[in-house]
Structure 1
Amino acid sequence: MADQYDFDLFTIGAGSGGVRASRVAAAHGARVAVAEEYRVGGTCVIRGCVPKKMLVYGAHFAEDLEDARQFGWNIEGKSFDWQRLRDHVQNDVARLEGLYGETLSNHKVTIFNERATITGDHQITLASGRQVTAAHILIATGARPHIPEFPGNQHVITSNEAFHLERLPRRILIAGGGYIANEFAGIFNEFGSKVTVANRSDTILRGYDEALRDRLLQIAMVKGIEFLFMAELEHIEKQEDGTLLVKLTGQEPRIFDCVMVATGRVPNSEGLGLEAIGVEIGTRGEIVVDAFSRTNVPYVYAVGDVTDRVQLTPVAIREGQAFADSVFGPGQPYAVDHSCVPSAVFSHPPIAAVGMTESEARNRLGSIKVYQADFRPMKNVVAGRNERCLYKMVVDAANDRIVGIHMIGPEAPEIMQAAAIAVKAGLTKADFDATIAIHPTMAEELVLFK
């Protein structure tokens, strides 16, 4: 790299994508610096999927302890301490943050714990006033929760604040119908809060297979979660006792102790100085990039949620890896394949999916075959729990190729990881049929479809 610059790569944002890109670029021999104004680790590690999964684990014990009776265990005097779980989770987040910092330091990446903005061609200015230059600039600033505009919106929380609550709310309203809303609905419900989910449309988890969405809705309602559809927040008034008087469209005003909004995420692209060098920004605030994560400015790249392609941590990591290998590695440049990306919703029970839904496959392929297994897991049978799993396989009738697998039930995301490999590889229904089942498991249903 040209010595005319202070660094070969300057990364703005030390989340999953930025850390991976910086580490790999440094391993290729590049001189790398990272600027992070908040905490190293980004959304996933600090205030996203990692601490949320820890809460999901904690929430599962509510049902597990109840089910344990049918398995011969007598558990007396059980109680839940929110503060203890909250603090344990935050302690582990701090541990992971330290490990991410160590990874960068071990690769001799320079870390600036302050905000950075682009102030000229190849030029970055830090909040301290220091100016540095870089041959390449990578934007990996992620996204933030969207807060709708309405009177009283200053009284809401987002998923960011949910991890730090002083106490559990007795009554919580969650606005939204996506994965974050449904995950936190399950978490708070298991912890004993009265949960109401308000969605502005008539559909939860848009993009997932309809059969799975319906099944989750049925189970969640049985668990005591209330759903209000075609209902948007109109205004919130804080009462003298600290409670919130909430007005939703089509509903009478109601009192809640907490209102959480989970209505999408907004790319963090503003205030970075991108306009100073003419980087193109899309209509949703996303940084516009090509398949190789390149912007319209030759030396500026972007990965992760700030590009609003697929807002998932593993995707950001893959994009960061591909960028670093392509720009600084010895091989040929390569792009990330954003098709057939598996995903999960850590609801109660969880959902996992890969490939096309049944309706998508019908629209795109025409002739398809659909196989379903609707069953009650052995553990639920013994426990006396009536929840049923639903597994679904979508097959292209023209060539027997599996184009989608969709699951709701215990451990669905763990099972899906291996199944997603098969779908990505283009395996057929016959390949699954030829595989001997592991019995007794829930996963065996994938090779027993008739």
Structure 2
Amino acid sequence: MSEFDYDLFVIGGGSGGVRAARVAAGEAGAKVALAEEDRYGGTCVIRGCVPKKLMVFASEYASAAKEARAYGWDMADGDFHWDRFKEKLETELDRLEGVYRKLLKGSGVETFDARATLKDAHTVALSTGEVKTAKHILIATGGRPVRPDLPNAHLGMVSDDIFHLDALPKRVLIVGGGYIACEFACILNGLGVEVTQYYRGAQILRGFDEEARGLIAESMAQRGVDLHVGTDIVDMHCEEDEDGLTAPVEVTQYGAKGVEEVREVGKPIRVKATNGKTREFDAVFFATGRRPNSDELGLEALGIEIGRKGEIKVDGYSQTAVPSVYAIGDVTDRVNLTPVAIREGMAFVETVFKGNPTEVDHDLIPSAVFTQPELGTVGLSEEAARDQEEIEVYSTSFRPMQTAFAEGEGRVLMKLIVSKATRKVLGCHIVSPGAGELIQMVGIAVKMGATKEDFDRTVAVHPTMSEELVTMRNPVRTA
């Protein structure tokens, strides 16, 4: 009989933790338990990727009627009803959480709806008062959005809050320039909200290809986002009543047809910016960073190293300084993407339970930013590549057929970064509708080490936007 209650105890019921628990139990035959203090599915399913993408879909219909009319359809503009969408969204998230619970149960994983902390290298204490032991412990607690160190920052919301709004604000200020800030700026703008965005840097989407981020900034402004770079908040406050509460006031919200809908919200938030201007908003949304959920887990007392941002330090096999304790996903702050957390969980099971030591491959990971238009990217940006070696840049920007026919302004970008020495495609950057779908396929070629000549030998699919990826013959510049 084992000296431990379980072979594996997983702390965290997000995508990475659930996958590791399921595979360890279902395929490796391990005795597994998992504890989750909130909802199963984690950030991605409950308060991240999934609800956000559904909001992206909802927001994209705003311009559908106008474009349809250009194609001969007699189609009227419509109004967006947040309450209808929110009800259906909540039903879908409940369904998905049920799927996660069912998958764990079907794999034989014992689950605890409780917070778990580490007492020692093999012991977990639950908030229910139970204490469990395990040969291996896997921490998969993810991350959380943080508010800036600013007086009255509590008046603003973060990404976790936006899915729970009772009603959409008429005017919102989004603070930040990363992918979350830009995605929600496009979403809320598409849903009819007046969006202002402040970012303290010189250009949004820092770390992405310069040409791509410039086109997205231009497109966001064309669509109505009031974007201010080099701008940050100095002060924010809200007038309070005698009880210290923000009294509700009536504001008017407009649907897509301009129809007025009067509702009650809190008093406007007055925001002073570094540009000297003071403006009022119905809501302020901070998208200024995330932090790993490593607090108060009992890690440092065991000798597990924590980085300055709160990330758990692990080696290439996701193992901490305590041999029996591993960590995967956003809590390690390596590559904070759901599919990466899942891959890390799978590699952990291969290493620990299948006798096949497997390091996690974090190289050439394709990703997408769901702005309007989307950004799909894999590999090096032009700036990073030219700092590494001599390169050729193949790039084209144009109005796609569908947009041009409807006399729209939107442009797309197709861009390849090529090594002069090896001819390998070092990076690909696409700004277009559906760029997230396109970059998945390109990612396969880049991961396989395809050269520019491999792309050239591929026959184009015509007429498509993506055919430009295999028809660009001459570099636009070298560096």
The question of 1:327 aligning with 2:348 is answered no
Give the whole-Å Cα distance in 2 for the aligned partners of 1:420 and 1:224: 32
Give the aligned partner of residue 194 of structure 2: 194
Give the aligned partner of residue 280 of structure 2: 255
Give the aligned partner of residue 440 of structure 1: 463
The question of 1:347 aligning with 2:347 is answered no
- For structure 1, the 5+ residue unaligned runs are none
Give the whole-Å Cα distance in 2 for the aligned partners of 1:77 and 1:224: 17
Contact 1:293/1:301 (CA < 8 Å) preserved in 2?
yes
Contact 2:414/2:466 (CA < 8 Å) preserved in 1?
no
Which deviations, in whole Å up to 9, do the C-alpha atoms of 1:8-59 show, x marking residues without a partner?
Answer: 0000001011011111111201100000000000000000011100000011
Tell me the SS of whatever aligns to 1:433.
helix
TM superposition shift of 1:247: 1.7
Give the aligned partner of residue 383 of structure 1: 406
Matches within 5 A, 1:395-414: 395-414=418-437
Which deviations, in whole Å up to 9, do the C-alpha atoms of 1:187-226 show, x marking residues without a partner?
Answer: 0101111111111211210111000111011111111111
Give the whole-Å Cα distance in 2 for the aligned partners of 1:329 and 1:168: 49
Give the whole-Å Cα distance in 2 for the aligned partners of 1:369 and 1:263: 34
Q: Residue 298 of structure 1 is aligned with which of 306, 312, 323?
A: 323
Letter in 1 for 2:467: E
Of 219-228 and 135-144, deviating more is 219-228
The question of 1:265 aligning with 2:293 is answered no
Give the aligned partner of residue 231 of structure 1: 231
Which deviations, in whole Å up to 9, do the C-alpha atoms of 1:365-393 show, x marking residues without a partner?
Answer: 1x211111212111101221121111100
TM superposition shift of 1:161: 0.7
Give the aligned partner of residue 388 of structure 2: 364
Which deviations, in whole Å up to 9, do the C-alpha atoms of 1:48-78 show, x marking residues without a partner?
Answer: 0111000000111001222111122212362
Contact 2:156/2:286 (CA < 8 Å) preserved in 1?
yes
Contact 2:176/2:286 (CA < 8 Å) preserved in 1?
yes
Which deviations, in whole Å up to 9, do the C-alpha atoms of 1:220-243 show, x marking residues without a partner?
Answer: 111111122222222221135411
Of 373-382 and 42-51, deviating more is 373-382
Give the whole-Å Cα distance in 1 for the aligned partners of 2:103 and 2:196: 41
Give the whole-Å Cα distance in 1 for the aligned partners of 2:214 and 2:77: 36
The question of 1:279 aligning with 2:278 is answered no
Contact 2:317/2:348 (CA < 8 Å) preserved in 1?
yes
Of 172-181 and 215-224, deviating more is 215-224
Give the aligned partner of residue 23 of structure 1: 22
Of 314-323 and 231-240, deviating more is 231-240
Tell me the SS of whatever aligns to 2:17.
helix
Tell me the SS of whatever aligns to 1:119.
strand
Contact 1:24/1:325 (CA < 8 Å) preserved in 2?
no
Contact 2:121/2:324 (CA < 8 Å) preserved in 1?
no
Give the aligned partner of residue 259 of structure 2: none
The question of 1:427 aligning with 2:479 is answered no
The question of 1:216 aligning with 2:223 is answered no
Tell me the SS of whatever aligns to 1:291.
coil
- For structure 2, the 5+ residue unaligned runs are 240-246, 250-266, 474-479
Tell me the SS of whatever aligns to 1:227.
strand
Give the aligned partner of residue 37 of structure 1: 37
What is the number of residues matched between the two proteins?
Answer: 447
Give the aligned partner of residue 243 of structure 2: none
Contact 2:22/2:103 (CA < 8 Å) preserved in 1?
yes
Give the whole-Å Cα distance in 2 for the aligned partners of 1:181 and 1:121: 39
Give the whole-Å Cα distance in 2 for the aligned partners of 1:255 and 1:430: 55
Contact 1:231/1:251 (CA < 8 Å) preserved in 2?
no
Letter in 2 for 1:234: V
Give the aligned partner of residue 318 of structure 1: 343
Give the whole-Å Cα distance in 2 for the aligned partners of 1:103 and 1:235: 47
Q: Identity of paired residues, percent?
A: 48
